[in-house]
Amino acid sequence: MNTTVDQADFFKTLAEKSDGGTLRGDYSLADENYVVAQNWQHYTEAQHELWRKLYRRQAQLLPGRACDVFIDSLERLDAADAIPHFDRTTEALQKATGWQLVAVPGLVPDLTFFEHLANRRFPVTVWLREPHEFDYIVEPDVFHDFFGHVPLLFNPVFADHLQQYGKGGLKALKTDGLKYLARLYWYTVEFGLIESPQGLRVYGAGILSSGGEIEHCLTNPTPRRIPFDVERVMRTLYKIDSYQETYFVIRDLEQLFNETAPDFTPIYESLKAQEALPANTLLAGEMNLPPNG
């Protein structure tokens, strides 16, 4: 699930929107930071019902698959019965980790996205998918953004990591490292796995908001499950239109924070001299963790 889009591509697509461009959402009312009003009162009962169905389906899949910190935080949100009010969630987030939610019309440019994260603001799309998109959607909607991402923002370690990522993104824009940082986000925040005493668990939002991949990533013997290494992750290409062929596994959230804290500039320079790895690559001597039994 793409969360950012290259700025040049973004503005080209936005300019062509009236002529059949693919970006969804109404950008005409967005401010300079691409923030809009959520206008919660404009959601229809049919949309709230679709939200309930999506929430119910995913919530039933979480036990034994999602990491405990995600499940615990999701229960605190009280979001099962209707599309949430972002302002109410922000009140709770501010008390927990100092984060806030900002409503956006859809995908935002990289610079804007990183600036929001660096200032502990998480952009959440305001529109909800259509019923025929129940199982698959190309652009992230309010269900993906809220259900998949927001619960972990209540965890101090993950919240600090995401702010750190935003600051790293602002640096990457100046050092030609954006594609490497995008791979890191994809394989962690969106599609990351984490170890637990009971086996592998999911913490990535793209999986947590998916009806099929949440089981596939844990039990299917086909995909690679490789212990997390920053440079290895940044070197690996990813799939945007199918289940992932490789998942990277962290020991705990502290590892994610600690190993993504240093300046990535030396890694970017090293990677520029190496070929990118196809998504299904398993290097010689590399550990491939078994699926859950």
pLDDT digits (tens, 9 = 90+) for 201-252: 999 999 999 989 999 999 999 999 999 999 999 999 998 888 999 999 999 9
- Domain range spanning residue 255? 4-272
In a domain, 242, yes or no: yes
275 is in an annotated binding site: no
In a domain, 280, yes or no: no
In a domain, 284, yes or no: no
Residue 98's domain is classified under what CATH number?
1.10.800.10
What is the three-class DSSP state of 222?
A: coil
User: Could you tell me what percent of the chain has a pLDDT over 90?
Assistant: 85
Count of structural domains, the chain:
1
In a domain, 286, yes or no: no
132 is in an annotated binding site: no
In a domain, 61, yes or no: yes
In a domain, 81, yes or no: yes
In a domain, 177, yes or no: yes
* Token pair 């990813």: residue: 238
| Per-residue b or e along 177-213, where b marks 16 or more CB atoms closer than 10 Å to that residue's CB | bbebbbbbbbbbbbbbbbbeeeebbbbbbbbbbbeeb
Burial (Cβ within 10 Å: 0-12, 13-18, ≥19) of residue 159: buried
In a domain, 69, yes or no: yes
- Report the C-alpha gap between 231 and 271 in whole angstroms: 8
What average pLDDT is seen over the chain? 92
190 is in an annotated binding site: yes
Chain segment 264-291, per-residue pLDDT in tens? 999 999 999 999 999 999 999 999 999 9
